[in-house]
Structures are given as C-alpha cells and as structure tokens.
Amino acid sequence: MFENLQEKLSRVFRALTGKGRLTEKNIQEAVRQVKLSLLEADVNYKVVKDFIEAVKEKALGEEVLKSFTPDQMFIKIIRDELIRIMGESNEPLKLIHRPSPIMIVGLQGSGKTTTCAKLALFLKKQGRNPILVAADVYRPAAIDQLVKLGSVVNVPVHTGDRKNPFKIVESAIEYSKDTGYDVMIVDTAGRLHIDEEMMDELVKVKEILKPDEVLLVVDAMMGQDAVKSAKTFDEKLDLTGFIVTKMDGDARGGVILSIKYVTGKPVKFIGVGEKVDALEPFHPDRIAGRILGMGDVLTLIEKAEKELDQEKMRKSAEKFLKAEFTLEDFKEQLEEIKKLGPISSIIEMLPGAPKMDLEMGEKEFKKMEAIINSMTKEERRNPRIINYSRKKRIAKGSGTTIQDVNKLLKSYEQMKELMKRMKKGKLKLPFGIKGFGF
C-alpha cells in the first residue's frame, strides 16, 4: 500500500546521505520533497501542513544541524511525526459490560459485514465468546452473508425477525444475556452514501444497544472521501474508533495518515486481506516503520507465533544446522509459510527487503511447491536419484519444465553447501542469530 510513498521518501533520505552536516538549504529542500510526497499520497492537506511545520521546526534545531549523521536524525524526526499524527500507540477495545456490545457502522462496499466476522474471530482467539448480530435488513443478502461468514469462523449469528433492526437488536441483547455470550458484534445498515434516514436509524440503534464501542469501517481505497465520511459519522454517533480495510491494496495511504488527526479518534484495527483471519491491531509505530522501509518485524513475529507450528519449525531449524534438511522438510516449510499470508505481505514486514517482482515471487513459490508435490517420498528424501527421466515425469506432473526442476535442485544443492560451511564454522551468522528455518 505504501510502496509509492516509501519510494519517494527514500529518495529524500538518499539525497541527505553522505552530507557532512545539514544546512538550512538542505533541510528546506528535503522538507519540500516530503510535503509533495505526502500530498501525492492523498494525505489531508491540513495534516500535511501541521506535519511539515513540526518537521521543519525540529529539523532546523541545533541538535540536527550539528549532528554527524544528519540523514538518520532527519529520518527519526519524520518517523516520530508520522507516529504522532497516526496516534502514539495501539488503542485496544474497551469492553466494559457483559455482554459487551460493539456497533459496527459504515458505507456499503467498505467491507463492513466481512469485518464483523473478522473481528469475531479475532476476539474468539483471545478467549472471548462472541455472537454476531445481523441488523442490516436492507442490503440484499446481507443477513445471509453474515450467517455464512459466522459458520466459517464458527461464531453464532442472531438474525431475529430479519425485518426490523430495532427488534433484532433488542432480542439479541436478551438472547446474549440468557446464553452467556460476552461480546455482541452488531452489523448495522449501510448505504452507498450518507443520508439522513440511515443516520437516524443508526442513532436509534445506538440508543437501544448502548455500545461499549462504535467502530466505523473505512475503505482505504476511498482516499479523502473516507475521511470526510468519518467526520460525519463521528458527529452523529460519537465514534470510539476506526477499522481501516483493504490495507493490502494499492491505495496511496492518505486515509491511515489522516483520519486520527482529522477526527481525534483512533484507528483500532486494519484489514490486511480477504481471508477471515486478515485483521490486525493497528500499531502506529509499526506502520511508520513500513512507510520508511524499516519493516515491521514485531507483527511478523506475532503472526509466526500464532500461525506456525512451532515444533515443526524447531525441528526444521535443527535439521538445517545439522545439514540434514531434505526436500520433504522444505515442502513442510512452504506449507507453514503459506499460513502467514501472501509473500508480498511478508516481504513488506522485513526491514531493508530488496525490491522485487512480488507477483513473480508468488508464482515461483507455487511452482516450487508443485514440483516438490510431484516427487515421490524417496525423491524428496534423496534428490540425487532424480535422473533425466524422473525430471521429465516431475515436470509433466507439476505443469513446469525440466529447467524449472533443475533450478529447484540447484538451489537445494546450494543450500546444502551453505549448511556444510555453517557446520564447519566457516560461515559466521549475524550477531545474535543462533539458527533459522525456511
């Protein structure tokens, strides 16, 4: 999502690299370029104005002008200001009552109903006992969609009479109390645009529900129109926060950098994919790191701890370091890595990751998996037995070419050579790293 902004800011920082000291002229030019980059990223102009004034004031300070690493000091200032405008830290849900009502609002097309299911799964993984409430009675198939999503995340859906949103909410409150659910996630009606009728209904639903959280689902692809809508929703409903969806798309990033500053309300979650588990708590410092090309290792570690089979990873790491890593082990690792999501999202979280054709990377990933799946168990355990006729069979079975098979086997042999060198102590690992898997 932040690729264009990241590239433009990188050029600014590169221009400062190598300069012995910063001068007022250097800073003015760098600040001007940062301003243009943010405006092109569709950041609200008032936010940009405040951001640039704060950066300029700090950058022209004695500490920076006298610094021996001016580029690093300038990057730090930019990072600190990005965090400031997005919010200082993650703001978790404040669930006070039992059951705790969460009212989800938003325009049609923002991903509101899917987000309800994602949030239910997120809370379920945290040990909560959520129930979904289908109170969008206007959009065709909205209730059926939520029922289907509820079955996917294994969370019950209360539909009531399917006709009257107020009665549905009232019956859901009583039902939740009687059955012991501790969180109610209410999917409310949306429209293609804001209108008085919709807002009046939402206000009445809020009065009945008395929610702990009122969260607006915002589509990152809408740009500044989303920020304008957010202001209107906040004025009518006094929102407690936002969930920004489609963060995995090619939006320019303006919404996530503007919405907290403009409304004063925090972003609490971000949607990072279409799957029901693609919802993450929003951490301003981590997003700032991604924008500046510093990666987001903490989120990657958290994902790995939740999704990956730790015992499998440990055994694979041990085999790797003992030079016993086979193609069968490699196949297991590919299956584990797939749990973390698309390669593009993993690469984005790695600091200093090289620019690459991510689409090509995904294709290569699938190709490797197909080739290994076309091998027999014996071939995976002992690739040396793979002769020309076996390669032909493997290529045909995987829909690839003999050259592709050779490429995989060559990479495997290079990996084995790396293992041997590590085992003999001829290859030093980076400081603090004791072992790794694939």
Q: Is residue 159 part of a domain?
A: yes
Q: Is residue 430 part of a domain?
A: no
> Which of 31-45, 311-325, 380-394, 421-435 tops mean pLDDT?
380-394
Same-domain check for residues 384 and 328: yes
Strands 100-105 and 213-219: parallel
309: which residues sit within 8 A by CB, 6+ positions away?
A: 336
Same-domain check for residues 200 and 64: no
Number of domains in the chain: 3
Query: DSSP assignment, residue 158?
Result: E
Same-domain check for residues 106 and 211: yes
Same-domain check for residues 15 and 73: yes
Using a CB cutoff of 8 Å and minimum separation of 24, what contacts does 143-146 make? 145/113, 146/113, 146/116, 146/117, 146/187
Q: Is residue 402 part of a domain?
A: yes
Which one has a higher pLDDT value, 435 or 280?
280
Q: Which CATH number belongs to the domain containing residue 339 in this structure?
A: 1.10.260.30
| Domain C-terminal end among 262, 294, 326 | 294
Same-domain check for residues 68 and 110: no
Given CA atoms 426, 432, 434, 437 in this order, what sign does their dihedral have? negative
pLDDT band at 321 (very low <50, low <70, confident <90, very high): low
pLDDT band at 158 (very low <50, low <70, confident <90, very high): very high
Q: Is residue 330 part of a domain?
A: yes
Q: Is 308 buried (19+), middle (13-18) or exposed (0-12) by CB count in 10 A?
A: middle
The confidence score (pLDDT) of residue 224 equals 82
Same-domain check for residues 194 and 53: no
Q: Which CATH number belongs to the domain containing residue 80 in this structure?
A: 1.20.120.140
pLDDT band at 94 (very low <50, low <70, confident <90, very high): very high
- Buried-state track 310-334, b at ≥16 Cβ within 10 A, e below 16: eeebeebbeebbebebbbebbbbbb
Amino acid in position 260: K
| Maximum pairwise Cα distance, the chain | 74
Residue 347's domain spans which residues? Answer: 306-423
Q: What is the token pair recorded at 190?
A: 């949306």
The C-alpha atoms of residue 269 and residue 122 are separated, in whole angstroms, by 10
The confidence score (pLDDT) of residue 307 equals 57
For the ranges 193-197, 206-210, 301-305, 349-353, the lowest mean pLDDT is seen at 349-353
* Mean pLDDT value across residues 119-126: 94
Given CA atoms 243, 247, 249, 253 in this order, what sign does their dihedral have? positive
Q: Is residue 155 part of a domain?
A: yes
The C-alpha atoms of residue 122 and residue 126 are separated, in whole angstroms, by 7
Same-domain check for residues 319 and 191: no
Same-domain check for residues 392 and 313: yes
CA 74 → CA 48, 68, 69, 144, distances in Å?
17, 12, 9, 52
| Domain C-terminal end among 64, 86, 108 | 86
Same-domain check for residues 167 and 240: yes
| Domain C-terminal end among 49, 64, 86 | 86
Q: Which CATH number belongs to the domain containing residue 233 in this structure?
A: 3.40.50.300
Q: Is residue 333 part of a domain?
A: yes
Same-domain check for residues 242 and 198: yes
Same-domain check for residues 269 and 196: yes
pTM of the model: 0.69
Which one has a higher pLDDT value, 260 or 27?
260
CA 134 → CA 148, 189, 271, 435, distances in Å?
11, 9, 20, 48
Q: Are 218 and 230 in contact (CB under 8 A)?
A: yes
Same-domain check for residues 222 and 354: no
Q: Where are the beta strands (DSSP E) in 139-298?
A: 157-158, 183-187, 213-219, 241-245, 267-271, 279-281
Q: Where are the beta strands (DSSP E) in 50-128?
A: 100-105
pLDDT band at 320 (very low <50, low <70, confident <90, very high): low
The C-alpha atoms of residue 23 and residue 7 are separated, in whole angstroms, by 24
Q: Is residue 54 part of a domain?
A: yes
Q: Is residue 384 part of a domain?
A: yes
The confidence score (pLDDT) of residue 2 equals 67
The confidence score (pLDDT) of residue 429 equals 40
